[in-house]
């Protein structure tokens, strides 16, 4: 991602309450010590050791930054408590203060992470993701349940206690609902939705056959899913409650794992029409399906459309006896591998910056959620292995 010249605005101090930061932007021409295109050395300072530790952990995840000492830093991010659930961040460079802002959050930790996100937007001119949330499948003591967590796994909360196989959680864009596939009650895969404000879980698709892959459209008005009631799995689009599903594909092959384009006009999905899984796209209103020339593997699955750059689609590719994450670039008509981890990397999901991906690493019979920067290739674990297995992540900010 090309780092373009930014314009320094007057430093101001006011409360921030929105997930869209709109931070003042710092002119890249006024700073020195850039490590590379889109990457800076930064130092974290705070009189509160807990705030400093949290902020350092956050920036150590981001591929655009290297945390170092103040003497070697391009930017110094100083974050202090401003009372209650607020913090104040100042950004310095070359001995000068470039920006100072007060940031509010749902609590102190959230305010710190939002301050860090503001720093990302001010310096890299991309969205920060530190204050986002994950939904995922956690497995502890052999039992799988649906969980939510902050990105740093400081606050993990189970949403189900069904003791039943489940997979594929997907957030709504407003962070209020989660779709997931579960074998609860019927013993067959059905799509359920949980309302985060009420905790209520309700069935969305319980049609004959397999009901999987439920995913909200970007505006939350529709749900794409894969249903096999006709004999083979096909792609359908229903309303926001899963009612009145419209069939988009109709053939003898298996179509699964739909993902919406950012504008909600198209879907990318997996089809085994060529004999083995490959990626296809189709209009969200129906029509002919078109194969994407990924040209990287004979087995491509689990596509996820980039929320920022419509020409990019991440997916899982079979490589060298395992699986790795690849990104298809429609502008170039080719794909590049972005992981090379031990054993396998599967189930990619984009962060809101369109640069980083969360994926599941499978190794030694265990699963762990990892973060990869698609520009630098930096891979970081999101949680301690002692948590247990974690997989099938979905991200929302």
Q: Which domains does the chain have, with CATH numbers?
A: 28-124 (3.40.50.10070), 133-396 (2.120.10.30)
Q: Is the pLDDT of residue 18 over 80?
A: no
User: What does the pLDDT average to over 104-123?
Assistant: 97
Structure confidence at residue 8 (pLDDT): 27
Q: pLDDT by residue (tens digit) across 120-151? A: 999 999 999 999 999 999 998 889 999 999 99
Residue 48, judged by CB atoms within 10 A of its CB (0-12, 13-18, 19+), counts as middle
User: What does the pLDDT average to over 213-232?
Assistant: 94
Structure confidence at residue 152 (pLDDT): 96
Strand ranges, E, within 112-265? 133-140, 143-150, 156-158, 166-171, 177-182, 190-195, 201-205, 211-216, 222-227, 234-239, 246-247, 255-260
Of residues 383 and 3, more confidence is placed in 383
Distance in angstroms (rounded) separating the CA atoms of residues 184 and 195: 17
Structure confidence at residue 141 (pLDDT): 86
User: What does the pLDDT average to over 318-347?
Assistant: 96
Answer yes or no: are the C-beta atoms of 114 and 121 closer than 8 Å. no
Confidence label for 180 from pLDDT (cuts 50, 70 and 90): very high
Confidence label for 36 from pLDDT (cuts 50, 70 and 90): low
Q: Is the pLDDT of residue 32 over 80?
A: no
User: What does the pLDDT average to over 260-272?
Assistant: 98
pTM across the whole model? 0.91
Q: Can you name the residues that pair with 202 across neighbouring β-strands?
A: 193
In 3-state terms, what secondary structure has residue 385?
A: helix
């Amino acid at each position: 991602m090309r780092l373009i010249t930014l314009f320094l605005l007057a430093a101001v101090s006011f409360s921030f309450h929105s997930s869209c930061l709109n931070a003042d932007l710092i002119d890249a021409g006024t700073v020195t010590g850039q490590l590379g295109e889109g990457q800076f050395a930064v130092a974290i300072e705070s009189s509160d050791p807990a705030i400093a530790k949290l902020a350092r952990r956050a920036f150590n995840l981001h591929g655009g930054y290297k945390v170092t000492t103040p003497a070697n830093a391009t930017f110094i991010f100083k974050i202090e408590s401003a009372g209650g659930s607020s913090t104040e961040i100042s950004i310095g460079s070359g001995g000068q203060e470039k920006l100072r802002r007060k940031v509010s959050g749902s609590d102190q930790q959230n305010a710190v992470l939002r301050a860090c996100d503001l720093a990302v937007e001010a310096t890299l001119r991309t969205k920060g993701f530190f204050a986002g949330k994950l939904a995922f499948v956690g497995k502890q003591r052999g039992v799988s349940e649906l969980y939510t967590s902050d990105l740093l796994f400081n606050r993990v909360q189970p949403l189900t206690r069904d003791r039943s196989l489940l997979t594929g959680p997907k957030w709504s864009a407003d962070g209020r609902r989660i779709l997931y596939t579960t074998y609860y009650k019927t013993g067959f895969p059905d799509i359920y939705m949980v309302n985060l404000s009420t905790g209520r879980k309700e069935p969305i698709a319980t049609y004959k056959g397999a009901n999987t892959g439920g995913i909200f459209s970007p505006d939350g008005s529709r749900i794409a899913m894969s249903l096999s009631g006709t004999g083979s799995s096909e792609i359908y689009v229903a309303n926001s409650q899963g009612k009145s599903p419209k069939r988009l594909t109709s053939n003898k092959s298996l179509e699964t794992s739909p993902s919406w384009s950012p504008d909600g006009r198209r879907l990318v999905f997996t089809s085994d029409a060529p004999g083995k899984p490959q990626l296809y796209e189709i209009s969200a209103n129906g029509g002919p399906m078109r194969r994407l020339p990924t040209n990287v593997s004979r087995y491509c699955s689990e596509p996820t459309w980039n929320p920022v750059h419509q020409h990019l689609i991440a997916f899982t590719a079979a490589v060298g006896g395992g699986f790795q994450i690849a990104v298809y670039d429609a502008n170039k008509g080719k794909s590049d591998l972005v992981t090379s981890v031990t054993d396998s990397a599967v189930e990619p999901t984009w962060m809101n910056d369109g640069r980083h991906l969360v994926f599941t690493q499978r190794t030694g019979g265990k699963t762990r959620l990892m973060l990869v920067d698609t520009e630098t290739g930096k891979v970081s674990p999101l949680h301690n292995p002692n948590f247990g297995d974690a997989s099938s992540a979905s991200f929302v900010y």
